Structure formats: structure tokens, C-alpha cells
Amino acid sequence: MSKFRTLAVSLAVVGTLGGCAGPNPRDPYEGYNRAVFNFNDKVDEYALKPTATVYKNVTPGFFQTGVSNFFGNLADVWTAANNLLQGKVGDGMSDLMRVAMNSTFGLLGVLDIASEAGLQKHKEDFGQTLGSWGVPSGPYVMLPLLGPSTVRDTVALPADISADPWQYKDPVNVRNIGTVTRVVDQRAALLDASTLLEDAALDRYEFIRDGWMQRRNSQVYDGEDGPQDKQKQPEVEDEAPKQPQAIMPEPAETKPSL
């Protein structure tokens, strides 16, 4: 574990130092990022958003809730591991209790019995764990199909993907159907927020970048002031909408590929 941690720290630091040149030290790759953002936006406009709209309008609400709960229960496993790696033993044990309760009494997680029992749901990923270990975030990066990220979170992404239990589901066709359903369900949950964003933001790229970076910083430092909070930033609400055009799950959960 110590070798893996050292390697991750080194990669993130190198990425940070390599990206500090440019007019905006937090977004030195803005030209590239905007191009990827536009690509993701078109994929969302012509494929994901229409599919999510049909899904939301046609699929019964209880089914949508069950899908969200099921994959949320799987994500709780990795959340528990990251809370323990961050030294938050109480939260980690609570997450494990959530998984045990929802996987049994909650019909494999389709029902969120644990939340009704008062066990708070957390969202932690390996990028947050690296941040808690002192690894700097590095520059902002827009990933194709996956959406907003940073150098640190990109380094952590393979661990998040590998830790997703659904990645090992057999047969493959069932795994792929489940993955697509999860992506569409998550996009459907953001339809209202993305519509408001499209109507309100003059420069959606900047609005999403600044809102995402501030929100991510809050996630990594559990709402406390982190290094990025000390930099001068545009005033953006902490609960700014997530990137609506990202077509794969957010960094708080793993991001499986088909």
C-alpha cells in the first residue's frame, strides 16, 4: 500500500508542476478542455439527454428509485473503504453497516432501509482519499465522456473503476445493460438542473468549471477550508449543479466503461 500511495503522490505532483504554465494556473489546459467540453456537450445533446428524458417520462418512479438505490448500495462498498483509508473509522463502519442492511433486508439494495434507520449515506472516492493524504489536486481537466476532473482525480480513476463490484458481473451482456441503465438513470436525475443551467449561464464552461472545482474542494476537505479555498475564485454556490453533459457516473462513484 505504501508503494502505491507513493506512486500516486508522485504522479499527481508531476502533473501539477507540469500544468502550472498559462494564464489560469487552475485551468492551464483550457483550450483542450473547452474542445472536450463541446464534444461531451454534443454527445449529451444528441444521445444521452433525449434517452434520459424518455427514461424519466416513461419509467415508473419506483423503478428509477430502485435502480438508484441498487447502484448506490454497490458504491457504498468503495465509499466505506475510502473512509477507512482516510482514518474516518466511524463513517467507514457506518457505510459497512449500510451495505449489510441494504443487501439483506433491502433486497440487494433496491430498498434503502439503512437511510430510514438513520445511517447517513456518504460518497467517497480515491481522489478524495489522495486529497486527504495531502496530494494536491493539480489542474482542472475535462475528460472525454467522463466530464470534469483534476490531475489527482484522473490518477485515482483506475482505482475507482477497479473497485466497482459491477465491473465483475457476469454475463457481460447483463453487465453492459446494467451499466447503460445506471448512466441513463443518473443523467435523468440531472435533467432539471441542466435545464436551469442552460438557461442561466452565459459561459457554461466557466460556470461548470468554477462550480465543480469549489464543490470538489468541499468534498475532499469535508466542508473545511482547503488549499484551493485560499485562492481567489468567482463566487459560486457550493451546491452548483454537477456537469450535466458528463455521460458517465461522477467521481464520488466509480465510472465503468462498456
Residue-range domain boundaries for the chain? 2-230
φ/ψ of residue 14, rounded to 5: -60, -45
3-state secondary structure of 20: coil
Sign of CA dihedral 125, 25, 34, 224: positive
Q: How far apart are CA 183 and CA 247, in angstroms?
A: 7
Task: Pull the grid cell for residue 101.
Answer: 442492511
What's residue 225's pLDDT?
Answer: 65
| Cα 60 → chain centroid | 25
Find the DSSP H helices in 59-189. Answer: 61-85, 89-104, 113-116, 126-132, 151-162, 172-189
Cell numbers that stand for 4 in this block: 502505491
User: Per-block average pLDDT, block size 10, for the chain (258 residues)?
Assistant: 44 43 81 97 96 97 97 98 98 98 97 97 98 97 97 98 96 97 96 79 88 95 67 42 44 42
pLDDT score, position 226:
66
Provide the β-strand partners of residue 147.
143
Three cell numbers, residue 173: 451482456
